[in-house]
Structure 1
Amino acid sequence: MTYKTILGVLDNRKTAAQVTEFSVALAEQFSSHVIGVHCEAVAGLPLIAPMEIPDPVAVQAMQDIAHKESGVIEAIFAEASRREGVSSEWRNFVTSAGVVGSFTDSVRCADLVVVAQGESGSMSDNRTELEAALFESGRPVLLVPYILKAPRPIKRVLIAWNGSREVARATFDALPFLKQAESVEIFSVVDGEDADLSRSLPGAEIAATLSRHGVNVTVTRQDQAQLKAAAHIENRLSDQSIDLLVMGAYSHKRWWEVLFGGVTRTILDSMTALTLLSR
């Protein structure tokens, strides 16, 4: 298994260069074809009072602004792809009603989707619909945090393991990264008062499976104590200088809201490492 089709979601000019650089770097790493995707969303129609009819001048102005930004983003993607010599293509979807089915179709046909970390508390309607489409795509999503401005080798990986279907899928979706990493840690946060868990080592069986793939894997268990699971994971990311976090995304309307059981979007709001999510 490897990533042969990588799709980068370039939803705005602010993060276009960042997502492009990471997508192209991964395409080089895995000898992949990279697709740049932008959804050119037109805002709701401005109305002329008192008759409340669409203002054609304002509509055209908004369309021109959106089209100009699409052109800038496409140029950023084209230049990076040309510079690095990777196989690439550009897709621009224009819609006045949010993310359309063709965008979801493109996502579902990719091995890996790369997208920038969303801005908490300032989600546009287009970004909200875009993330909802990603959630429903069934494909692994690699989130790039604000603080990572340039790609770097993925040497240390942390799998936030709780034995669920979602994290099991994320683990196997991340296998190309795991096989190339120097070290992979299966990290579980458990309730120390649970007698069954206190006698077991969560993650031992998945570690054995990964080792058969040639993954250099270790297993760590952390008693929850007074801290929430999110805090334990954040501490582990920092203490071990983790390059990639692998997690399961749970079945909620907005996939960034509740992850890893009791782990909230706190982790995504304070991301320090690339994060791969699957559901």
Structure 2
Amino acid sequence: MMKSILVHLNDSASCETRLRLAKHLSEKFNAKISGIHFSATTFALENQSVPQNLDVNNVTDINALVLNTRQKKVLSEKAAVQRKLDKIFSTDFLPSWETFIGDDGHRLIANCRYHDLMILSSTLNLGSLLERLNSTIASVASESGCPIFVIPSEFCTLPSFCNPVIVWNSGRAVARAISDGLPFLKEAKKVTVYCDSSSSNDSERRRSGLLKLSEYLTRHDVSHEIITTELREDNYSAHLLKRISEAEHDLAVIGAYDHTNVKETMLGSVTRALMQEAKIPIFLSH
């Protein structure tokens, strides 16, 4: 059940796409939309117009100039975000939203925990926290427990989700992503499941797992096709990206991995490669 959607807001072209997607899902599932905006304010004295009467040796004067410049920057960013909201939503349906100063990964993760879905930009950068968490958006999913839609920064049209692909490896994370993503998968004309046939030494166990996956998708009225192919570690990402491009998939459903073992390290690199190079929305859970 999707009743609460959190949207990452900024002054980018893809922000409007994220808002249109949130509005579409809100209308479809009667969900509430909230927004979160981070103003990563920086200040460099040499890049500013410094008043002639400023005493550069006076700490109070310098601090006042820094504070004034930062306040102006934050207000400018907030005004730009508000214009995007006004463009997408009617005045009686404007989402509530908050601005936080700095790249606060803690705050983003904490807020995600109270929503059913987070819609993020693929260029999200939340500084030191995510550096400690391998600098991946997948870490936001794994730390918050909230499923995430990642919209590429250059993606400027409302996603259709008619031809999604599931990257299946029989793991818990991708199983969770499928379950969380059922509202979108059920609307697709056909869902393609890519399965790495080299991911298990027990071929009978793999076939049994794929049969159960197919039965699960069928029970939920998801039209699907399962394609098995051998993917070696050295070409895993490249092979998937080629398949996605050739088949013109418009959504990838994947697991979010936190690199707790060698296998997840490889899969985590696949997650990053898809977000950086696939040029389509990514849906991931942990």
Larger Rg: 2
TM-score (normalised: structure 1) = 0.81
Pick the structure with more strand per residue: 1
Residue 186 (structure 1) aligns with: 193
Is residue 57 of structure 1 aligned with residue 62 of structure 2?
Answer: no
Residue 125 (structure 1) aligns with: 127
Q: Give the drift of 1:101.
A: 5.4
Identity %: 23
Deviations 1:39-66 (A, max 9, x none): 23444797x9768776221222122112
Residue 240 (structure 1) aligns with: 247
Deviations 1:46-96 (A, max 9, x none): 7x976877622122212211221112102211331218x7x4422213335
Superposition map of 1:153-164 within 5 A: 153-164=160-171
The whole-number CA distance in structure 1 between the counterparts of 2:228 and 2:211 is 10
> Against the structure 1 CA distance between its residues 103 and 264, is the aligned structure 2 distance closer, same or farther, given a 3 Å change threshold?
closer
Superposition map of 1:53-202 within 5 A: 55-82=63-90, 87-96=93-102, 98-99=103-104, 103-118=108-123, 123=125, 125=127, 128=130, 131=137, 133=140, 135-191=142-198, 196-197=202-203, 200-201=206-207
Q: Secondary structure at the match of 1:158?
A: strand
TM-score (normalised: structure 2) = 0.79
Residue 29 (structure 1) aligns with: 28
Amino acid in the other structure paired with 2:24:
A
Deviations 1:216-246 (A, max 9, x none): 1221101126862112211221122111100
Q: What value does the CA root-mean-square deviation take over the aligned residues? A: 3.4
Q: Give the drift of 1:260.
A: 2.4
8 Å contact from structure 1 (residues 229, 262) kept in 2: no
Q: Give the drift of 1:170.
A: 0.8
Q: Give the drift of 1:24.
A: 1.9
Gaps of 5+ in 1: none
The whole-number CA distance in structure 1 between the counterparts of 2:59 and 2:265 is 40
> Against the structure 1 CA distance between its residues 23 and 259, is the aligned structure 2 distance closer, same or farther, given a 3 Å change threshold?
farther
